[in-house]
Amino acid sequence: MLKTLLSPRLLGLHLLTIGVVIAFIMLGRWQLGVFNDSGKPVLTTDPAPVSVTELAPVGAQMRGDAVGRRVTVEGVYDASRQLLVADRRADVDAPGGKVSRGHGYWVLTPLRLDDGTLMPVVRGWVADAADPAAAAVPQGRASVPGRLRPQQGSDTVQRRPEGLPPGQVQTVATGELVNLWRGEQVRNGYVVAEPPSGALTQVASKPPMAGGEVTWRNLAYAANWWIFAGFAVFMWFHFVRDAVRADRDRQRSPEMVLEG
């Protein structure tokens, strides 16, 4: 049997089968990787900046495609209504609340637009609530470039059990801001200024993201390649078995071989 397995006619079959199986397995892994990558958020086009009034309405939710868009906000900062968003890192996607306690504050200052509405603007980040950079609110008319973000749910963070000092909040929630800035029309969401104002540290905000489409066909392709690999092994087994049986038959019946 060993002599048959190592014969030149079967050695080529062994090598061919090994190559085919490895190739099919790798092709299956490639298709599986494509499947795993599908459905993940991907960067979309980053359109030119537009006025925030086009994307951030009053009393209504913003469109999903507005999240992360570059916008410009023009108006005058209302320093008297400035708030600090406690327990925050210099990244809008970093978790807030208890897990980030002691990491710093977002400086949230509303910008009063020409139509009288207020647009919350995260001007930047400070490590200490007493940092004088937070109190240095730009005077006069300002044109602020930045990225638009949706409001944060009031239940998205684990709040401090002892509460917060006056002038501080845990989230940038439009409903909460309406209650704090009574008598004002507040636009939905908030703008992360890019670049920050004054000596504040910039809060990172990503460009628009879109959820990728899950491509189930790639999972089927991966399964097909692995089935082909199994079929190649199956055919190799049958060829080898038939060759071994044929050699045994020839050894047992030499006269039949001669007659053939």
Beta bridge partners of 146: 71, 193
Q: Which of residues 157 and 53 earns the better pLDDT score?
A: 53
Q: Which of residues 107 and 2 earns the better pLDDT score?
A: 107
Is 200's pLDDT higher than 50? yes
Sorted by sequence, the CB contacts under 8 Å of residue 16 that are 6+ apart come out as none
Distance CA 233, CA 130 (A): 71
Highest mean pLDDT among 32-36, 64-68, 132-136, 160-164: 132-136
Sorted by sequence, the CB contacts under 8 Å of residue 245 that are 6+ apart come out as none
Confidence bin at 36 (pLDDT 50/70/90): confident
Beta bridge partners of 168: 84
Highest mean pLDDT among 2-16, 152-166, 243-257: 152-166
In 78-161, which ranges are E strands? 83-86, 105-112, 118-126, 141-149
CA distances (Å), origin 118, targets 22, 64, 150, 174, 177: 63, 21, 15, 11, 10
The pTM of the full predicted model, rounded to 2 decimals, is 0.65
* CA geometry: angle 242, 245, 249, nearest 5 deg: 135
- Over the range 97-119, which residues count as b (16 or more CB within 10 Å of their CB) and which as e? beebeebbbbbbbbbebeeebbb
For 108, the token pair is: 């949230």
User: Helices 8-37 and 216-252, interaxial angle, to 10°?
Assistant: 170
pLDDT digits (tens, 9 = 90+) for 59-72: 888 887 888 899 99
Is 259's pLDDT higher than 60? no
Residue 165, preceding bond cis, omega within 30 degrees?
Answer: no
Confidence bin at 177 (pLDDT 50/70/90): very high
pLDDT at 238: 84
What is the per-residue DSSP string for 151-164? PPPTTSS---TT--
Listed residue (157, 98, 90, 153) closest to 123, CA to CA: 90
